[in-house]
Amino acid sequence: AGRSVQLGVSRETLTCWEYSSVMLGAGDDDLCESRDVAGGSGGKGNLTVLSAFFGDLDDPENRRDITMEVQAMLLEAIAAQGPGCSVEVPAVTRLWGDPARFRVKRLSVTYEHRWLSDEEQQALEALEHRVTAKAQTALDLDQLVARLGEALRPAAGASAAAEQAAGSDSD
């Protein structure tokens, strides 16, 4: 039973068309705080490129896996720029070749940013475990869930009504 969302980790996929670029780290002030930023031991500020592709993203035969190259660009930028760095990854055939000849190409980069230190991560996971254990042993858990559902029902109904009204206004 693996967890699909890890506490203290943000995952994002950035895409752009050929001849433009994506910016890793833009707006993440602590992105390059640690020497472990690009796949090290997992300290705070750790950024890891999970996947990067260039070409026709919908056709695996006509795209190139550039994950290792993008990770290397990140490591070089961190070594050169230090804390607070950002990395521009251009979508150009000059760098990545032409895996989709005579087709419009795109760049896609998926990365994870660990924004908690290992110690903070462990403390948060321990707290989550305690809260889950308490909730599961609560004698009135079923009643509490039913009350929560009743409290949320009017808000959900109002939201659905607003969406329906907005949809009929645009017709």
CA–CA dist 156, 154 (Å, integer): 5
Global pTM reads 0.64
SS3 assignment, position 132: helix
Cα–Cα–Cα angle for 45, 49, 51, rounded to 5 degrees: 155
CA–CA dist 35, 106 (Å, integer): 31
| pLDDT tens for each residue of the chain, 171 residues long | 344 567 778 899 999 999 999 998 765 444 443 333 444 434 456 788 999 999 999 999 999 999 999 999 988 888 888 756 789 999 999 999 999 999 999 999 999 888 777 888 888 888 888 888 877 777 777 777 788 778 877 766 665 565 666 565 555
